[in-house]
Amino acid sequence: MTSENKGVARSAGALAGIKVIDLTRVLGGPYCTMILSDHGADVIKVEPPQGDETRDWGPPFLDGDASYFIGVNRNKRALALDLGKPEGRAVLLRLLEGADVLVENFKPGGMEKWGLGYAEHLEPRFPGLIHCRVSGFGGEGPLGGLPGYDAVLQAMTGLMSINGDPSTGPLRMGTPVVDLATGLYSAVAILMALQERHRSGRGQFLDMTLHDCGMALLHPQAANFFLNGKRPMPLGNPHPNIAPYEKFATATCDIFIAIGNDAQFRNLADSLGRADLNQDARFKTNRDRLVNRAALTGELAGEFAKHDGHALCGRLLRQGMPVGPVLAVDEATAAPHTAAREMVTELDGYRGLGTPIKMSRTPGGTRRKPPKFGQDTNAILSEHGFSADEIKDLQTSGIAFTTRRT
**Active site positions, annotated:** 179
| Cα–Cα dist 187/274, whole Å | 47
Report whether 312 contacts 250 (CB < 8 A).
yes
| Cα–Cα dist 349/5, whole Å | 9
| Cα–Cα dist 126/335, whole Å | 47
Report whether 315 contacts 271 (CB < 8 A).
yes
Element (DSSP H or E) covering residue 298: helix 293-304
What does residue 274 show for φ and ψ, rounded to 5 degrees? Answer: -120, 55
| Cα–Cα dist 25/386, whole Å | 25
Report whether 10 contacts 16 (CB < 8 A).
no
* DSSP letters spanning 190-252: HHHHHHHHHHH----EEEEEHHHHHHTT-TTHHHHHHHH-PPP---SSS-SS-SSEEEEE-SS
